[in-house]
Amino acid sequence: MSSITGKAPSVKLPPQVATTRSLLLEQMGRLLTTEETLAKLVLPQVLLEIQDVQLADAVSSHLAQTRAHAGRVKEAFLALGELPSGRTALGLDGLKWERENVASEVAPGLRPFLACAAAMGMEHYEINAYEAAIRLAESEAGAGEVARLLRANLEDEIAALQKLGGEADRLAGQLD
């Protein structure tokens, strides 16, 4: 690292993530951060804001699943002989920021649809992250249990997206 602020180091440092296993651990860390943040902060807050009973039921049901997802990701770490450790999840941060900052600009009657659309965006983000992690686990020797645990979460995420899609159709049909 350069001692001059703002200057790149004169010596090129090796990558911090240099193996399939370390990339898998990074991906799993982002998944752990995402699931725990959703379970502890985002979904409980969304439930307080949602006025639509059917949408609230869908989100509430997924909250219970999300808690189980965090547990499975932790199990996946342990299956690799590693301690569960979260990582920065910039995609989650962006989706969270967007949901929090756009809602105030939207008319109250449109907010249930906006909340549903934001939840669908989060499901897409999680599905992408799980699919990538599963592919890495499948390519890593001895990580079959990891792939199985992550696939169970992926199946729940896909089902949640389908359920939210149905809610979005219903809510869109109620708009102007």
* Among the listed residues 96, 99, 77, the one whose alpha carbon sits nearest the alpha carbon of residue 86: 77
Average confidence (pLDDT) over 38-59: 92
* pLDDT tens digits, one per residue of 127-140: 999 999 999 999 98
**What CATH number is attached to the domain comprising 144?**
1.20.1260.10
Instruction: Say if pTM beats, i.e. exceeds, 0.85.
Output: yes
Rounded CA-CA distance 114/107 in Å is: 10
Average confidence (pLDDT) over 42-56: 91
* pLDDT tens digits, one per residue of 85-112: 999 999 999 988 888 888 889 888 898 9
For the chain, the domain total comes to: 1
Cα-to-chain-centroid distance, residue 141: 25
Enclosing domain of residue 63 = 20-173
CB of 85 within 8 A of CB of 29? yes
Average confidence (pLDDT) over 60-70: 93
